[in-house]
Amino acid sequence: MHEKDIQRPGDEGAGTTPPPFRLDGEVALVTGSYRGLGYSIARGFARAGAAVVINGRDGAAVEAAASVLREDGLDAYGVAFDVTSAEDIDRGLRKIEKGPGPPTILVNNAGIIRRAPMLEMEEQEWRAEVDINLTGPFLVARRVVPGMIEAGRGKIINICSVLTEVARASVAGYASTKAGLKLLTQSMATEWGAHNIQANGIGPGFFATEMTGPLQENREFDTWLRGRVPAGRWGRPEELVGPAVFLASRASDFVNGHVLYVDGGLLARM
């Protein structure tokens, strides 16, 4: 061990170091963030001091969400691109680099789900899930990470799922992509950790958003979920803000390659 790695009383610089959970001076790109969980995370980042980039494929929706944040006095930009197209991503990143600057925080949040038993699932639907949920995070990170390496720091958060760990009938494609995203997260942590880049995942349980609309309306599912989740309820999108700010901030500088499940205890219960 090097002498310099041993911490002694006073080394922590009390009173001089910035608070660990603030994001002032950071530029955060959150993909698929004009609504749902991504929007909550982006708003939480902006409230913690970051400049945030709202993204999605629909330019008008992206701009509308960014302007709501600006009306609240937050630093927000809208940049539309499709996470499955390297060209589109490059065009979007050029705009971001000219605007708030190269992202130091990336949240790979854009995702889709197709619900069908495997024997009825169309090949195209399966491929779309792989493209958006798994290839998308790889393509966006590949474009963003050189800027993080240049900056000497970076945070990547990949939005996984409880289906990263366990299966459920009728969501085989989705679960497979989210399980793949865990190993992509660990690969990012492994390859980029030496550049002071931390890549972690957040695995939400069941949150009330448009994506889970059909499940919320399904009384049988709703009853099952409330009985199964130790917390006895659905998650609220704002409950992802604390975990996301933690993984985007200095507070997590030695946390790398981890998936943090935010599920009201769902995975803990047999």
Ligand X SMILES: NC(=O)c1ccc[n+]([C@@H]2O[C@H](COP(=O)([O-])OP(=O)(O)OC[C@H]3O[C@@H](n4cnc5c(N)ncnc54)[C@H](O)[C@@H]3O)[C@@H](O)[C@H]2O)c1
Show contacts with ligand X in window 73-102 (CB under 6 A). Answer: 82-84
**Residue 174 known to be catalytic:** yes
91 phi/psi in degrees, rounded to 5: -60, -45
Smallest gap from residue 209 Cβ to ligand X (A): 3
# residues near ligand X by CB under 6 A: 26
Strand order in the sheet with 27-30: 76-78, 51-54, 27-30, 105-108, 154-159, 197-204, 259-262
262 — phi, psi (to 5°)? -120, 85
Binds ligand X by CB under 6 A, chosen from 57, 115, 195, 228: 57
Judge whether 205 and 264 are in contact, CB under 8 Å: yes
Of the two residues 37 and 144, which places its CB atom closer to ligand X in the complex? 37
Instruction: Quote the tokens at residue 175.
Output: 């679960």
Question: With CB under 6 A as the contact rule, which of the stretches 66-74, 105-113, 143-151, 221-229 interacts with ligand X?
Answer: 105-113
- Range 16-45, binding ligand X (CB under 6 A): 31-32, 34-38
Least distance between ligand X and beta carbon 214 (Å): 11
CB of 1 to ligand X, least distance (A): 40
> Residue 48 or residue 160: which is nearer to ligand X going by CB?
160
Min dist. Cβ of residue 237 to ligand X (A):
7
Residues 111-150 that bind ligand X (CB under 6 A): 111-112, 132
Question: How many CA atoms within 13 Å lie on the side-chain side of 27?
Answer: 18
CB of 13 to ligand X, least distance (A): 37
Q: How far apart are CA 42 and CA 54, in angstroms?
A: 7
Stretch that binds ligand X, among 107-115, 190-198, 219-227, 252-260 (CB under 6 A): 107-115
Closest distance of CB 47 from ligand X, Å = 18
Q: Does 261 bind ligand X (CB under 6 A)?
A: no
Q: Where are the extended beta strands (E) located within the chain?
A: 27-30, 51-54, 76-78, 105-108, 154-159, 197-204, 259-262
Cβ closest to ligand X, residue 25 vs residue 269: 269
Quick one: 45 or 207, whose CB is closer to ligand X? 207
Counting other chains too, the contacts that 183-192 makes at CB distance below 8 Å and 24 or more residues apart are 184/134, 184/137, 184/138, 184/158, 185/156, 185/158, 185/160, 185/257, 185/259, 186/257, 188/141, 188/156, 188/158, 188/257, 189/256, 189/257, 190/257, 192/145, 192/148, 192/149, 192/154, 192/156
Q: Which residue of the set 34, 39, 77, 174 is catalytic?
A: 174
Closer to ligand X at the Cβ: 152 or 214? 214
Touching ligand X, residues 159-218 (CB under 6 A): 159, 161, 204, 206-207, 209-212
Pick the closer one to ligand X by CB: 84 or 185. Answer: 84
Nearest by Cα to 191 from 142, 244, 127, 140:
142
| Six-digit token string for 194 | 């030496």
Q: Which amino acid, residue 93?
A: L
Q: Give the active site residues.
A: 174
Interface residue list for ligand X (CB under 6 A): 31-32, 34-38, 56-57, 82-84, 109-112, 132, 159, 161, 204, 206-207, 209-212
